[in-house]
């Protein structure tokens, strides 16, 4: 691996800002550019835009990707959208510039079932250029898929797997609280679910990754989204939910085979959740469970996972990778050996 790694940030929203502040702490990383299509951000200093205490950094945000990617870039960290079709051109642009890509696009985490043709196109393009790309984040990309598969390394037999993630959205950003419907009437919540406006992306991708990793051939993957109803008033720094209104989402993705649940992933994300946690259960030989009390913090961990994947993606074989193939670990802040 090179002694220094030239990194570009693609997408400077809240997650992108968190990513670049963390990148700034890595002695072996040079942040050489940033891309965001919002004209209001173009030309601004990346450090200032990201709320960094040591701003300005002397790196300007640009709305034009080709210009930024015309310089040598080792890795692009990409966080613009959940939709793979929506970011194909962005990803292909990074690849054709010869950069490895780490993206928080949920649908990229395991795209073989929903978007097999797009996955094949990305894989071919990456191999052609000799670079690797991966979709990751806390979920999908870590707690409900990678961690399940790592735990299964100690299993002699796995019949079924379940993961439950309970997130206290009171501690999260306002856009997230709104995205999960906090404060809505239940009817409004259901209308928005039907319209596709309320949904955490990536659960079916995690189900497919886990099933493939466990050698389970699924008949079907289904998904349900229900409201969590507040039983008492819940106040957050941003909003208030009265009893009987929606506190957040309860979303379940099930992979079934032979009429039985084989991989079940359950996400509860709501304001006022009192015992947030991540838990994993494997049923088989032996039965084993794992828990992370308090849970993995979504924004902190997603930025961490994306940045920590840098040494791993640079060392990976060319092509479209998934976290299933990659030895995820910490990216030490010091100079490279």
* Binding-site ranges for a second copy (CB under 8 A): 22, 25, 138, 142-143, 146-147, 149-150, 152-158, 213-216, 285-286, 288-294, 296-297, 300-301, 303-305, 307-309, 324-330, 332-334
Comparing CB distances to a second copy, the nearer of 68 and 158 is 158
Cβ 292 to a second copy shortest distance, Å: 5
CB 297 to a second copy: min, Å: 6
Give the shortest CB-91-to-a second copy separation in angstroms.
22
Quickly list H helices, the chain.
Answer: 14-23, 46-49, 65-69, 84-96, 116-129, 146-152, 174-179, 186-194, 203-214, 298-315
Q: Minimum distance between the CB of residue 190 and a second copy, rounded to whole angstroms?
A: 33
Rounded to whole angstroms, the Cα distance separating 289 from 151 reads 9
Residue whose entry in the numeric block shows the structure tokens 């991966």 = 134
Min dist CB 123 to a second copy, Å, is 16
Nearer to a second copy, 239 or 288 (CB): 288
What residues have CB less than 8 Å from 283, skipping those under 6 apart?
A: 158, 159, 160, 161, 162
Least Å distance, CB 289 to a second copy, is 6
Question: Shortest Cβ distance from residue 185 to a second copy (Å)?
Answer: 34
DSSP letters along 59-124, please? Answer: -BEES-HHHHHTS--SEEEE-S-S-HHHHHHHHHHHHHTT-EEEE--GGGSSTTTT-HHHHHHHHH
Residue 224 or 291: which CB sits closer to a second copy?
A: 291
**CB-wise, 92 or 326, nearer to a second copy?**
326
Considering beta carbons, is residue 141 or 227 the nearer one to a second copy? 141
Q: How far is CA 336 from CA 12, 24, 28, in A?
A: 27, 15, 6
Q: Is the distance from CB of 312 to CB of 327 less than 8 angstroms? A: yes
Measured CA to CA, the distance from residue 267 to residue 283 in angstroms comes to: 19
Tell whether omega for the bond before 286 is within 30 degrees of 0, i.e. cis.
yes
Distance between CA atoms of 239 and 276, rounded to whole angstroms?
20
Question: Judged by CB, which is closer to a second copy: 215, or 259?
Answer: 215
In terms of CB distance, is 194 or 329 closer to a second copy?
Answer: 329
């Amino acid at each position: 691996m090179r002694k220094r790694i030239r990194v570009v940030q693609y997408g400077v929203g809240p997650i992108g800002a968190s990513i670049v502040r963390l990148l700034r702490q890595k002695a072996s990383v040079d942040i050489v550019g940033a891309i965001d299509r919002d004209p209001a951000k173009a030309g601004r200093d990346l450090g200032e835009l990201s709320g960094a205490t040591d701003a300005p950094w002397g790196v300007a945000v640009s709305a034009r990707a080709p210009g930024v990617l015309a310089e040598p870039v080792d890795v692009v960290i990409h966080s613009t959208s959940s939709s793979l079709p929506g970011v194909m051109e962005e990803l292909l642009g990074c690849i054709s510039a010869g950069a490895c890509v780490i993206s928080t696009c949920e649908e990229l985490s395991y795209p073989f079932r929903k978007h097999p043709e797009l996955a094949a196109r990305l894989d071919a393009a990456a191999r052609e250029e000799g670079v690797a790309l991966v979709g990751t984040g806390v979920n999908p990309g870590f707690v409900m898929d990678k961690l399940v598969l790592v735990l299964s390394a100690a299993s002699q037999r796995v019949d079924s797997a379940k993961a439950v993630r309970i997130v206290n959205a009171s501690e999260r950003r306002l856009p997230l609280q709104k995205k999960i419907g906090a404060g809505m009437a239940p009817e409004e919540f259901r209308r928005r679910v039907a319209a596709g406006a309320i949904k955490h992306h990536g659960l079916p991708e995690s189900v497919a990754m886990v099933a493939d990793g466990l050698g389970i051939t699924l008949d079907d993957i289904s998904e349900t989204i229900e409201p969590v109803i507040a039983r008492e008033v819940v106040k957050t720094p941003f909003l208030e939910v009265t009893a009987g209104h929606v506190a957040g989402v309860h979303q379940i993705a099930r992979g079934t085979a032979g009429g039985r649940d084989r991989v079940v992933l359950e996400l509860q994300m709501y304001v006022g959740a009192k015992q947030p946690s991540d838990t994993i259960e494997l049923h088989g030989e032996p039965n084993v469970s794992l828990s992370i009390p308090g849970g993995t913090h979504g924004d902190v961990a997603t930025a961490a996972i994306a940045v920590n994947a840098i040494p791993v993606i640079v060392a990976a074989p060319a092509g479209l990778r998934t976290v299933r193939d990659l030895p995820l670990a910490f990216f030490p802040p010091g100079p490279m050996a």
